[in-house]
Amino acid sequence: MLSYFAAALPHFLAYFGGALALAVLFLFLYAKATPHREFALIRDGNVAAATQLSGTFLGFAAPAAVIIANSVSLADMLLWSAVAGVVQLLVFVVIARFLFRAISDRITEGCIASGQFVGGMSLGVGILQAACMVP
């Protein structure tokens, strides 16, 4: 049992470390890509921004978790997780450019409905991605 643990631990650390690095990179890029500043808004107590970013992160994490469980290599996991991140960025672009052009302003103003809508759509798309990424 201990030998199995010792052999599996480096794989766990590699996948978990890679997943955490991708998650941090995703959050950084997502925050840079949106017109509003989620982290500053959250620090100021903006519930709409917190809801939006939390839902978006879960929308990234759900497919990433499925990818980790089904990937054939660390490189495979990193590539498909990057795809999940790009899709999450596209969710915001579609919402902000085509459905509700003022959504970013509404989130900045603290409109919880706007934050819930973006976060919910992101989570929903992430769940769909997760289902599609299972071999």
The CA–CA distances, whole Å, from 45 to 57, 60, 132 equal: 18, 23, 36
Look at residue 21 and tell me whether its pLDDT is greater than 90: yes
**Helix, strand, or coil (residue 102):** coil
Q: Which tokens in the block code for residue 128?
A: 């769909």
Asked if 14 contacts 74 with a C-beta cutoff of 8 angstroms, the reply is: yes
Looking at residue 93, what is its pLDDT? Answer: 95
Q: For residue range 115-126, what is the model confidence (pLDDT) as tens digits?
A: 999 999 999 999
pLDDT category, 97, cuts 50, 70, 90? very high
- The one-letter code for the residue type at 108 is T
Alpha carbon distance 52, 112 (integer Å) = 9
Nearest to 70 by CA among 60, 85, 83, 80: 80
Alpha carbon distance 31, 45 (integer Å) = 17
